[in-house]
Amino acid sequence: MKTLFDSHALGGLTLPNRVVMAPMTRVRAAADGLATPSMATYYAQRATAGLIVSEGVQPSLIGQSNPGTPGLYTDGQVASWRPVTAAVHANGGRIFAQIMHGGRVSHPDTTGLRPVGPSEVPATGEVFTPAGMRPAPVPRALATEEVGEHARSYADAARRAVDAGFDGVELHGANGYLISQFLSSNANLRTDRYGGPVTGRIRFAVEAVSATVDAIGAARTGIRLSPGGGFWGVEESDVPGLYAALLAELAPLGLAYIHLEATSEEEVLTGLRRAWPGTLIMNPVQPMGPKQTGRVEADHWLGLGADLISFGRAFIANPDLVERLRIAAPLAPVDDATYFQGGDTGYLTYPAYQHTA
């Protein structure tokens, strides 16, 4: 039986273990979406992961969801990421950039622009802005002729990511952001070719992935999905049918992986495992739920056919998570008050495990 500590071939990479650092928003970027020296240290500290997937990186200004997040749409942003990827590689690691277009989950106070989405349907709840939490605004519905531009923005950011030294990219198709909004049956009320039946609602995701594959190659391209997740008020009718149709369209592209969140029943998720011919990364617990992934959950999903297991919060407080899992050392607790506060406290200040007799 495979274990977390076996190697795994992923595209052109050989991962030394099956532990993936999941993408997590930390809002530590500098002005203008620039990566920082602290970000280089943060990711380098965690380079023993088989694969790191970065925090969500916006592919355009209008794609930015939260303040304090980094971008990959200017030359300056590309240059700022190079020390980050170099630090990870110097420590023996591998890192993909997660490309995240927020769509309707944004605010003019953050970007100076009205958010866009499939339809003029606001997200449920409040969004994070420089002035604090504000009600989610009504987005502007993209015209049919604009949709392709936003699909291609993932590919444009992917080219920049490779230029910045990333080993590949993961498209953020989960958690109620733009790709997820197009997949939705209540955020997407379109009557053109990007809406309506399942074949229409998966079109944007397929176009975004296909454009990225054309830009940087399938071996460098993955996508994260949250079947039935319900984030930001997103609903999806016929979750098994929707995602089976999406995976059927994506499978011939030969992607590096799909990355599933445990946002639906295990039966649905194992069905998608059987439907997907390539590498599957599984995040075994509900994002931001009361429980975080541990060895028990990881081993359970490896036994169900997952190839790699992603860990989120456990990596925040345990930069040496792989070794702690290997020797069954206790995991340090995370201080959730420091998730989004900025600065190095709660970011660079978690030590490696110290054994005491």
Question: What DSSP line would sit under 128-139, residue for residue?
Answer: EETTEEEEPPPP
Considering the candidates 73, 154, 177, 347, report the single residue annotated as catalytic: 177
Other beta carbons within 10 Å of 336: 12
Q: What's residue 1's pLDDT? A: 77
Helix (H) or strand (E) holding 170: strand 168-172
What is the residue whose two structure tokens read 């919060």? 313
Facing residues of 56 across strands? 98
CA distance 239 to 268: 8
Q: What's residue 176's pLDDT? A: 97
14 φ, ψ to 5°? -115, 110
Residues in Cβ contact with 6 at an 8 Å cutoff, skipping those fewer than 6 apart = 17, 18
- Could you please state the CATH topology (level 3) that the domain comprising 8-104+143-228+238-338 is classified under: TIM Barrel (3.20.20)
CB 114 within 8 A of CB 137: yes
Is residue 310 helix, strand or coil?
strand
Length of the chain: 357
Q: What's residue 285's pLDDT? A: 82
- DSSP assignment of 54-120: EEEEBSSSTT--STT--BSSSHHHHHHHHHHHHHHHHTT--EEEEE---TTS--HHHHSS--EESSS
Is residue 27 helix, strand or coil?
coil
Pairing assessment for the beta strands 126-129 and 132-135 based on DSSP bridges: antiparallel
Which of 122, 145, 126 lies closest to 135 in space, CA to CA? 126
Helix (H) or strand (E) holding 51: strand 51-57
Mutual angle of helices 144-163 and 203-216, in 10-degree steps: 30
Q: What's residue 292's pLDDT? A: 77
Residues in Cβ contact with 87 at an 8 Å cutoff, skipping those fewer than 6 apart = 40, 41, 43, 44, 47
Facing residues of 38 across strands? none
Which of 278, 257, 329, 309 lies closest to 4 in space, CA to CA? 309
Tell me the average pLDDT of the chain.
96
Q: What's residue 50's pLDDT? A: 98
Q: What's residue 208's pLDDT? A: 98
Q: What does the pLDDT look like over 125-138, one tens digit per residue?
A: 999 999 999 999 99
Q: What does the pLDDT look like over 197-254, one tens digit per residue?
A: 999 999 999 999 999 999 999 999 999 999 999 999 999 999 999 999 999 999 999 9
Alpha-carbon torsion 59, 60, 62, 64, what sign? positive
The domain segmentation of the chain, as residue ranges, is 8-104+143-228+238-338
Give the residues of the chain that fall short of pLDDT 50: none
200 φ, ψ to 5°? -80, -40
User: Is 194 assigned a catalytic role?
Assistant: no
What is the residue whose two structure tokens read 């089976």? 244
